[in-house]
Structure 1
Amino acid sequence: MKRDILGGINIISIIKVKQKKMEVLSKGNKGKTIIILSGMGCSFDEWYNITETLAETNRVVMFHRPGLGNSEIRNEPRNTEAVVEELIDLLLVLEITEPIILVGHSYGGLCAQHFVKSHPQKVAGLVLVDSTSEDLRELDELSLPVLNNYDTDKVWLEKCKSYSLMEQEQLKRMINPSIPEKLELIPEKVQQRLLDFLVRPSLYKAMYSEISNWKKDAEMIKSIETTLNVPLIVLGRDKEFSIRLEMQDGLPEEELRVFEEKWEELITRQGNLSNDNKILFVNGSTHYIHIDRPDIVIQSISEIVNQI
């Protein structure tokens, strides 16, 4: 059923989910169960510092979606509905029956919204970390001529298709991955896993499919009309901090401001998902709040734990 890679209560396992091998991280063995869904193209090892702290008093579970890490991918479409089904199956396999605290970053946040709308009885609390919005298409309506040559679905689809056809060594030379400065103190073996994660062609096969489907997914999620009563904390990035960083790459402030103001609006709307909500924009953070400000992510998840 599973193969343990690390011993003790911090275990990375290969588990059969939906008849495919899935790489699962489990830390801690007491308290509430916290499930964290990582962003698109992101490893669960980015969350090392957060999961280490949370696991002191909780059970923390993360998994790599098919194509990510050592999780097996075939030719099925990768969309949020598939993630919902995989999470349901994983909960069964791990014999987790109590309502979970669900955390989702970026695309993982879109998956989390789909899950909680489809299975509200399975979720006791929710934290969205600079999450992709169900109103994602509104970003396409902005007039951003420079940014649209730099960072659009079309650009990323072309890049992912190209990368998915390369050999691992070729990808390594092309991407030349590095460890974010704020993760340089995590164990070397975890750093190496992060570097290896980014040079697997299967990662880009998965991303290609996720990007191809995410706007259709967002519309479908929005069509599920429900208002929850579970504790919800919505975390958004620091608009001004993000603009200043992007300007260092030569991007125009006017376009960045238009984009970031719309993003802030979409983040704020996510509070409507539950009657019991709190919205916080995190100082000194980019889209990767869990790396830039792990303290705030830990604080927010712990606040939900303490409310339940």
Structure 2
Amino acid sequence: MSRTPRTPRPPRTSDTPGRRRSTHRVLPALALLTLTVGTLTACGDNDSAPEHAASAAAPAPAPASATASPSSGAGPAGVSKLRMITNDGHRLAFHVTPGTGDDRTIVLDSGGGEDSSQWKDLVPKLHAATGATVITYDRAGLGKSDVVPGPWKVESAVDDLKAGLDELGVTENVTLVSHSQAGEIANYFAKDYPRMLSGAVLVDANLPPFFTDEQIPRLVAVSKPQVDAAMKDPDKPANRQLISTAEGFAPAHQEFHKVTWPDSVPATVIVSEKTPLDGSPEDAQHWRDAAAAFTEAGPDRTLVTAEGSSHDVPKDRPDLVLKEIESMSATEH
């Protein structure tokens, strides 16, 4: 697959901050395991907490129309269709809005504890603006996808995404959009399958430079009270997700720190002004520095600051996210 290189752009700052929301919630620890309890907050509606996103029980069997073969298509253009896909013994929910003729595909991967509904307001705008096929999906244990017991493993998450795209017949020209914890999936996916990707937009995403030997113990320590509290009610969906993320966190992120993004895949890095560590200036600066280091480490990477935004950039600055996805998707290949 060939592409016309994008002209590298200097770091920039967004110029039209979105409306600040008056309702606040504590950022779930499972998003990053990077919060100081009671001091780090994110803007968002109460109903966006992970309790509504995670599913405690396995979904009911999908109707025949939702399990059709890839050759049957995904429904009329502009209309999202549910496809239940089985991988390694569990089912995953993929939501496909077919494009208007070209072969571009935009895949939206949600942050920690969020299911595909995180993107519900953006999908129709993105589809209308680009004409590309737009795919969202629920990672295991979230939304309509089956629960997979045990620790959360990024390798399994990558395998689930790849299996879903394969089943849908998507093999190239993918723009991958990843928020928060999904940044880990994006980094491994880009490393393993660079030819599938035409580009990526990493939205306040977990990036390898952040997870240093000094930072990892801090993240584990500050999240421990919430993890301990979650273990008292492990069947609660949000608690289950937090516990699974916390298991093996240190060794997993020591390995993540070593992952290298391929030079062949252009990337736009959006970093929130407040960062997910707004209550700790030292950690917040480390978050910003990691985004800058990632951007500077290879060609064809751009750093954008989302002014006025909390970590929840898709809700606080959907205009900016839409703009950057449009720009990346429009790159010639």
Q: TM-score, normalised by structure 2?
A: 0.69
Q: 1:107 to 1:215 in 2, by over 3 A?
A: farther
Distance in 1 (alpha carbons) for counterparts of 2:196 and 2:288: 28
| Corresponding position: 1:41 with 2:65 | no
1:179 equivalent in structure 2: none
Q: Corresponding residue for 2:232?
A: 162
Cross-structure match for 2:285: 261
Find runs of 4+ consecutive structure 1 residues off by over 6 angstroms: none
What is the aligned-residue identity percentage? 21
Q: Cα offset for 1:273? A: 5.6
Q: Quick one: distance in 2 between partners of 1:156 and 1:27?
A: 37
> How much does 1:207 deviate?
3.1
**SS at structure 2 position matched to 1:45:** helix
Out of 250, 258, 278, the position equivalent to 2:302 is 278
Task: Verify: 1:210 aligned to 2:282, yes or no.
Answer: no
Q: Contact 1:236–1:264 (CA<8 Å) still a contact in 2?
A: yes
Q: Distance in 1 between matches of 2:217 and 2:154?
A: 28
Match of 1:288 among 286, 300, 312: 312
Give yes or no for the alignment of 1:229 onto 2:264.
yes
Cα separation, 2, equivalents of 1:98 and 1:161: 41
AA of the residue aligned to 1:267: A
1:61 aligned counterpart, secondary structure: strand
> Secondary structure of 1:121's match?
helix
Preserved contact between residue 235 and residue 279 of structure 1 (Cα < 8 Å): yes
Whole-Å Cα distance in 2 between the matches of residues 148 and 210 of structure 1? Answer: 11
1:116 aligns with 2:190: yes
Deviation at 1:155? Answer: 2.6
- Tell me what 1:97 maps to: 171
Please provide the CA RMSD for this pair: 2.9
8 Å Cα contact 2:83-2:95 kept in structure 1? yes
Q: Any unmatched runs of 5+ in structure 2?
A: 1-60, 67-73
Of stretches 224-233 and 49-58 in structure 1, the one that deviates more from structure 2 is 224-233
**1:142–1:113 CA distance, 2 compared to 1 (3 A):** closer
Q: Report how many residues are paired.
A: 258
Asked if structure 2 preserves the Cα contact closer than 8 Å seen for 1:234 and 1:277, the reply is yes
For the pair 1:29 / 2:99, whether they are aligned, the reply is yes
Q: Identify the range of structure 1 (78-87 vs 1-10) with the bigger mean alpha-carbon deviation.
A: 1-10
- 1:228-247 CA distances to partner (integer Å, 9 max, x unpaired)? 122210000013x988xx6x
- Post-superposition Cα deviations, 1:145-169, rounded to whole Å, max 9, x if no partner, equal xx998xx23133224333433xxxx
User: Does the 8 Å CA contact 2:151/2:247 hold for their aligned counterparts?
Assistant: no
- Give the counterpart letter for 1:110 in structure 2: E
Q: Report the alpha carbon displacement of residue 121 of structure 1 after superposing the two structures with TM.
A: 1.4
Summarize deviations over 1:66-87 as a string: whole Å, max 9, x none: 1111211232432111111111
Q: Which whole-Å deviations, capped at 9, do the CAs of 1:178-213 have from their partners, x for residues lacking one?
A: xxxxxxxxxxxxxxxxxxxxxxx3443233212324
Say yes or no: does 1:18 pair with 2:92. no
Q: Structure 1 regions of 5+ residues with no counterpart?
A: 166-200
What is the alpha-carbon distance in structure 2 between the residues aligned to residue 85 and residue 258 of structure 1? Answer: 35
